[in-house]
Amino acid sequence: MRTIFTILSLQLLSFGFAQTTQDPSAGTVRNIYDMLRTVPGVDVSINTGIRSQQQVYIRDARNMKGKVPAAFVVDRVMYDGDVNLINPLDVAEITVLKDNAAASLYGARGFGGVILITTKNGKGVIPPQVNSYEKSAYQYFISKTIEIRVIGKDGKTIATGVISKETNESIFIRKKEIPKSNIERVEIVTL
C-alpha cells in the first residue's frame, strides 16, 4: 500500500495517510525542516563538514541498508536548491511519498522517497525567474561523485562538470566559460 503523509493539508486523501497540521504563522516553524520533523517516519539529519547541510531521510524497508536522502519537488518541478530558501509561510501543503509511489513517479531520484511541496501561489509551477543554480548550487559540489549538467536554451547539454569559478555574467566548468544568459537549467548528476 502506498503511504502518504501530509502537512498543512488542504484535502483528505482517499487511501492510506497520516496527517499532521501546523500553522507556520504561529511562530513555532522556522523552516521546511521544522515542519518535516513532525511527520512520523521522517528523519532530518545534519551532515557535518565544511558545508554542513540538512538531509531528509524517509524510513522505508528499501532505505534501511544505506541512507538515501529524499528528493524534493516544489510545485511539480524537481528541486535541487536549498530548501531553507523556501519560506514556510508560502507553503500550502507538504506531502511525503515513500515506497513504490515515489519510485514509480520519479524514477531513480525517488528511491529515497519524495517530498512534494505545494506553494500558495496557486499556479502549481515555480515562476520562470526562479533558478536553482543562482540560489544554492555550490552546496552540492563538495562530493567527488556529484557534478552538474548545464542545459542551454535549446535544450542541449552545454557542459558537464564541477563549477570552478563564477562571475556575475558567467560560470566556468572545466575552464569553459558559459554565459548565464545562455543557461536554461542546471541539473545535479550523480556519478
User: Given strand 176-179, what is the order of strands in its sheet?
Assistant: 163-166, 170-173, 176-179
pLDDT in tens, 24-79: 555 567 788 888 888 877 888 876 655 567 788 887 645 555 578 888 888 878 88
- CATH no., domain 4-119: 2.170.130.10
What are the boundaries of each domain within the chain? 4-119, 132-190
Question: 132-190: which CATH architecture?
Answer: Roll (2.30)
Q: Say which residue the cell 556519478 belongs to.
A: 191
pLDDT score for 94: 85
pLDDT for 11 beyond 50: no
Largest CA distance in the chain: 53
For the chain, the C-alpha Rg in angstroms (whole number) is: 17
